[in-house]
Structure 1
Amino acid sequence: MTRTDRVSRLIAASPAAVYGALLDRAALEAWLPPDDMSGRIERWDPRPGGGFRMVLTYLDPTGSPGKTSEATDVVEVGFVDLVEPELVVQQAEFEADDPAYAGTMTMTWNLTGTGHGTEVTVTATGVPPGIGQADHEAGIASSLAHLAAYVEAAH
């Protein structure tokens, strides 16, 4: 059975503002990395069939938590579908020698306008078995909190 990780958050901004932050290179570098990481985008092509390569660096690599090196996770992300301002579908693949982190994970970002902003629901399928569900959902929640802070401060 394929595991599905799902996290939602209400963000006090329009779907267009949230969608914009999902497709802006500088914005992604600012808000996407979870609390314990920083991020740098090395390649950027924001269109269906395009994508980006992001290097995530652990702020404290004690215990060698990285998937690509002891201090980093490198992920190749492809844009599968972009429907402005309501949907972003990405396929992510980590660079890792450990087969527990191999495979392509699909991340679907659904943006639903509400009277109070945008309900953002991130659904991940095909999550590599080496990524624990609780840790993954906490990482997504952290990124969503950063996304909320980023777009809410801009509006």
Structure 2
Amino acid sequence: MARTDAASRVIAASIDRVYAALVDPEALMSWLPPDGMSGRFERFDAYPGGSYRLVLTYADASAAQGKTTVDTDIVEAEFVDIVPGVRVVQAVTFVSDDPAQAGIMTMTWEVTAVEHGTRVEFRAENVPAGISPADHAAGLNSSLANLAEHLTGSSS
């Protein structure tokens, strides 16, 4: 059965600044990797039909459960839909020999102006069975905290 995981957060920044951080590769590398990981893009073309290849590396390989190697997750993604100031939709696949990591996960990032800033909502649909719900929730929330820190200098 397909699983959907989601997380959201209000960030004290304008919708334009938040949205820009969702489509700029340099900004993404400063906030997207969850705690305990670093990342780099091997390619990045943000337009509908464009794609990226992201290599995420665990800081502590002994505690890692990498999807591609013992200490890395490699992500191949295609931008399905980009609506400036509204949403970014990606079709994401993990490079892995493990069938539990197989399938195309749809990641949707939506931004909405609210009274004290911008609500950012992440939704992951068709999450591979091999991704722990608790670990995924922690990763999504960690990335949102990193985004808040990136934009405002405060993770709270």
TM-score (structure 2 length as normaliser): 0.95
Could you say which residue in structure 2 is the equivalent of 1:77? 77
Residues in 2 aligned to 1:53 and 1:152: alpha-carbon distance in whole angstroms: 28
**Residue of structure 2 equivalent to 1:51:** 51
Distance in 2 (alpha carbons) for counterparts of 1:9 and 1:19: 14
Aligned partners of 1:73, 1:27: CA distance in 2, in Å?
19
Deviations 1:81-130 (A, max 9, x none): 11110111111100000000011100111101011000111111010000
Task: Give the equivalent residue in structure 2 for 1:142.
Answer: 142
Q: Secondary structure at the match of 1:121?
A: strand
In the other structure, the counterpart of 1:103 is 103
Q: 1:146 Cα deviation (Å)?
A: 0.5
CA–CA separation in structure 1 for the residues paired with 2:137 and 2:151: 21
Distance 2:134 2:74 in 1: 21
> How much has 1:3 moved relative to structure 2?
1.1
- Unaligned segments of structure 1, at least 5 residues: none
Percent of counterpart pairs with the same letter?
Answer: 56
CA RMSD of aligned residues (A): 1.0
Partner Cα separation in structure 1 for residue 152 and residue 47 of structure 2: 25
1:1-155 matched pairs, under 5 angstroms: 1-153=1-153
Give unmatched runs, 5+ long, in structure 2.
Answer: none
Q: TM-score, normalization: structure 1?
A: 0.95
Q: Report how many aligned residue pairs link the two structures.
A: 153
Say which SS state the counterpart of residue 21 (structure 2) adopts. helix
In 1: Cα distance, 2:10 partner to 2:35 partner: 19
